[in-house]
Amino acid sequence: MSTTSVAHLFRVVVWGAAAGVAIAGGYLYLRTPSQSRFELPVRTAIGGPFTLTTVEGKPFSSEMLKGRPYALFFGFTNCPDVCPTTLLEMSNALTALGPDGDRLNVLFVTVDPEHDTAEHLKTYLSAFDQRIIGLTGSADVIASVARAYHVFYEKVPTSSGYTMNHTAAVFLMDRKGALAGTTSHEESETVQHDKLRRLLSR
């Protein structure tokens, strides 16, 4: 294996381990709230202030989320399965929550700003619940937000162009902006809905 390959593998392992620890910590917190003092360091390490751009081309700041719980997911519009599945499940969850669904912000942040312009992201998200907020920005800004959430992503060349590998978790943030847990497409919709109801009740 070449030096470049070894370095790349090392970086993937480190990023993956960091994201895994953070996500596991958040998951345990949501399942065992009575033990929250043990997960506090992990929770406070996830998230942070950001300003991105909506599909309407307007700035969207984390300040706008203060006092409201939210679910945040990183992905890209050319994603073949995980992203559309997750967005569909979040759409179903918003419907299942009934009127309470209006109290939950759901954010979809692209990790492929080179392709996912505001206009393209708007067209893509039109297939899902209209309450889902699509966000994009410059490559540097996206990278900064991803670091704040300990999210890994990378561009991978393919025969037809490229795809993106990325962390697939949905981060569940409480009204104070702290990590309350995570969910993903690998969990049943019943489990996802229960987690979102608990998030709204916090």
Provide the residue type at 169 as one letter: A
pTM beyond 0.85, yes or no: no
Percentages helix, strand, coil for the chain, rounded to the nearest 5?
50, 20, 30
Cα–Cα distance, 200 to 197 (Å, whole number)? 5
What DSSP line would sit under 167-188, residue for residue?
Answer: --PEEEE-TTS-EEEEE-TTS-
pLDDT, one tens digit per residue, over 55-65 is 999 999 999 99
DSSP state of 127: T
Q: Kindly state the DSSP code that residue 159 receives in the 8-state scheme.
A: T
Per-residue pLDDT reduced to its tens digit, 144-192: 999 999 999 999 999 999 999 999 999 999 999 999 999 999 999 999 9
Classify domain 3-201 at the CATH class level.
alpha beta
- What residue has token string 């392992």? 13
